Amino acid sequence: MSDSEDLFHFVEDIAEQARRRLQAWKEGQAPGASAPAPDLSTARVDLETLRSHADLAPYIDHTLLKPEARAEDVVKVAEEARQYGFATVCVNGTHVATAARVLAGTSTVPIAVVGFPLGASLPSAKAFEARESIRAGAREIDMVLNVGALKAHDYALVHQDIAAVVEASRPVPVKVILETALLTDEEKVIACSLSKAAGAAFVKTSTGFGPGGATEADVALMRRVVGDTVGVKASGGIRSAEDAMKMLRAGANRLGASASVAIVSGQSSTAKY
């Protein structure tokens, strides 16, 4: 049997396990296998530690992904991240070096998006983009899943796509953006299972450019599938501290938002992601 056939059968097995886990959850049963030991960087947030809106800051990826963003806009966002103590600044690859320069010497790190926002690039192109972004200073990578391949049941390609970026990014962690608004529950479960199997550190709900953003139901489903050894990032449509808390309660341990300053200030924003 060829390597490609082996991979195909391996991924098919993962997909079948994912379907069974979804069915078991719907029937109110436990997923079967016990969860691995928690990793503090990916497990659920202890909500008791959040005593004020400002305490949300370490869980927020302060985000600027607008196509019209200029270098001075990135500098402003990075300076806000320094001021408020956000976990990261998430930008397009062309702006990573600027963000890295402003964030130097702080605990806030730059994220680069890869294959953004459609996810339809070649695996080799995504891997190259990840390597170049890391060379420019990225310390986390948020890649977009190949949604079309997932819907076509080409699970081997989905796995290959994620694994190529994970390998190109080592040791930098990779988050996989599922674009959940385009997926059925079964597809979400399969996507999470494939992401985990390919070595992703996180699964993430949305790009913010699709037909919908994060929902509590999707976050809860994703957390149930990946357990505590893979993180869950909720992104898209989080515009207030109340929104943020809903996602954390559902199981997210990272939040992607452009309204980060409003969130930690106890305000609400109408700005788009």
- Helix, strand or coil, per DSSP, at residue 240: strand
Identify the active-site residue in 61, 142, 161, 218: 142
User: What's the confidence (pLDDT) of residue 251?
Assistant: 98
Q: Burial, 165: exposed, middle or buried (Cβ in 10 Å; 0-12, 13-18, 19+)?
A: buried
Residue type, 69: A
User: What's the confidence (pLDDT) of residue 16?
Assistant: 75
pTM higher than 0.85, yes or no?
yes
Q: Which two tokens stand for residue 153?
A: 């049941």
User: What's the confidence (pLDDT) of residue 40?
Assistant: 38
Identify the active-site residue in 126, 196, 233, 243: 233
Q: Tell me, what DSSP letter sits at residue 114?
A: E
Q: Which two tokens stand for residue 222?
A: 């994703």
User: What's the confidence (pLDDT) of residue 20?
Assistant: 72
Contacts of 100 (CB under 8 A, 6+ apart): 110, 136, 137, 138
Return per-residue pLDDT of the chain as tens, 273 residues.
566 566 666 777 877 777 676 666 667 654 433 333 333 379 899 999 999 999 999 999 999 999 999 999 999 999 999 999 999 999 999 999 999 999 999 999 999 999 999 999 999 999 999 999 999 999 999 999 999 999 999 999 999 999 999 999 999 999 999 999 999 999 999 999 999 999 999 999 999 999 999 999 999 999 999 999 999 999 999 999 999 999 999 999 999 999 999 999 988 776 655
- Helix, strand or coil, per DSSP, at residue 60: strand
Does 204 qualify as catalytic in the annotation? Answer: yes
Does 233 qualify as catalytic in the annotation? Answer: yes
Does 126 qualify as catalytic in the annotation? Answer: no
User: What's the confidence (pLDDT) of residue 216?
Assistant: 98
User: What's the confidence (pLDDT) of residue 15?
Assistant: 74
User: What's the confidence (pLDDT) of residue 25?
Assistant: 66
Domains of the chain (ranges; CATH) run: 3-19+41-265 (3.20.20.70)
Identify the active-site residue in 204, 218, 228, 243: 204
Going from the C-alpha of 194 to that of each of 43, 54, 75, 118, 188, the distances in angstroms are 19, 35, 36, 18, 10
